[in-house]
Amino acid sequence: MNNLETSTSLSVHFEKLDAALTQYQAYWNFVPFQCSDFPWDNPELTEYLQTLAEQTELEHDEVCQQIAQRFFPELADALEQVDFVHNQLVDDWQKPVPFWLLNGIHGRKITQVQQLSAQIKPKYPLLEWCAGKGHLGRLLSFQHDVAVTSVEWQQGLCEQGTNLAKTYDIKQDFIHADVLKQRAVWLKPQQHVVALHACGDLHVTLLKQAVEAQVEYMHVAPCCYHLIGDEVYPALSQQGKQSSLHIAKSILKLAVQAQVTAGQRVANLRQTEVLWRLAYQLIRADITGDASYQSLPSVKKSWFTGEFVDFVTWGAEHQGFTLPADLDFADYLQRAAIKQKFTQQLEYVRHAFQRALELWLVLDKALFLEQSGYQVEVNYFCPYQTTPRNMMIVAKL
């Protein structure tokens, strides 16, 4: 590999991030909704947050950066050194591919798939993990004339992928399987495994089983680190296991909370969601007398284009209490707006730690592979604007 980092390098970077995240834990390792006061004793930071309302010209990311530089020098220092993540963007990713090959791939996914595939030069047959409709596998097979096996849990996606492969005469088969339940007997030493945006336990399972099977090459772009069965993040590497950080599943979400690709509409919906969830908590606390935070499950964003009263009715049914007829919804929304401003201030500070936490999680996996005998790099496979989940682990046995 061209840009191979020495093992010490990945390890040193992990230790730096680990030290900064540990030192400043009070500033990110908490759930904002559960706070009624700032969870730190730092008057200067609190005062800064209160002046933020006046600096309306600042973007969310700029505020987070300012906070890191001004209040958390060790964090800023650890983040500045992440140039160890190689920028692997290749110039020829836009090499024309027949338009029909990209049929059915939406929006930014096209760029992700094209850029990632441009960086993979497979020497062996490919195995595509958690493939969806197998877009990446299809493109790779076409470009390199190589056989691809795509593993996917949703039968419908397997069928659609199989049809696309047949239509375009691509050497791609699908295996319909639940990779969390079935042992991956398809993993073999002389193989190149690719995984684009395999969530939480899906990529962790892949890495563990690929190591056992001694798969020779891997390109893995992880995402959704919080989608795990364990309540606390189970570190994979020696360094991760030795860390004093205990990161609850609810906190892991922070690692994927960057919103550069969200757009204004999604950002507005997110604002409404936060407001409604806060107002709902106030209502629930008043009616049940229980002020402890009880989260409601995630729901489709389309809920938040509807009516607040419907959301509250659903929440009350879900959590088993009855709503009185004379509830003043507008008053609760007003009170929630005050709490929302406070939550936003907490989020600015927490989000200053987002990239550091994500890197910590990626490096834990990279170090695990290194300790299992692989040569490992961490690269960006596409620009951050295309997807904030733009890191990939490249490993070679």
Nearer to ligand SAM, 152 or 216 (CB): 152
Q: In angstroms, give the least distance from the CB of 116 to ligand SAM.
A: 9
Q: How many CA atoms lie within 13 A of 224 on its CB side?
A: 11
Q: In angstroms, give the least distance from the CB of 387 to ligand SAM.
A: 10
Nearer to ligand SAM, 130 or 211 (CB): 130
Residue 99 phi/psi, 5-degree rounding, is -55, -35
Nearer to ligand SAM, 192 or 197 (CB): 197
d(CA 251, CA 361): 12
Q: How many CA atoms lie within 13 A of 207 on its CB side?
A: 31
Nearer to ligand SAM, 49 or 113 (CB): 113
What are the structure tokens assigned to 315, written together? 């929440």
Q: In angstroms, give the least distance from the CB of 64 to ligand SAM.
A: 25
Q: In angstroms, give the least distance from the CB of 128 to ligand SAM.
A: 7
Q: In angstroms, give the least distance from the CB of 206 to ligand SAM.
A: 10
Nearer to ligand SAM, 118 or 283 (CB): 118
Spatial neighbors of 43 by CB under 8 A, at least 6 apart, are none
Q: In angstroms, give the least distance from the CB of 109 to ligand SAM.
A: 6
Chain-centroid distance, C-alpha 34:
22
Sign of CA dihedral 347, 352, 358, 363: negative
Nearer to ligand SAM, 130 or 359 (CB): 130
Nearer to ligand SAM, 180 or 337 (CB): 180
**Number of C-beta neighbours around residue 62 at 10 A:** 11
Angle between helical axes of 155-167 and 135-144 (0-180°, round to 10): 30
Nearer to ligand SAM, 14 or 225 (CB): 225
Nearer to ligand SAM, 203 or 339 (CB): 203
What are the structure tokens assigned to 349, written together? 């500070």
Distances (CA, A) of 114 to 92, 95, 128, 130, 143: 10, 9, 15, 18, 10
Residue 19 phi/psi, 5-degree rounding, is -65, -45
Residue 55 phi/psi, 5-degree rounding, is -95, 60
Footprint on this chain of ligand SAM (rule: CB under 6 A): 109, 130-132, 135, 152-154, 157, 178-180, 196-197, 199, 202
Distances (CA, A) of 46 to 49, 76, 121, 344, 362: 5, 19, 51, 12, 31
d(CA 189, CA 200): 24
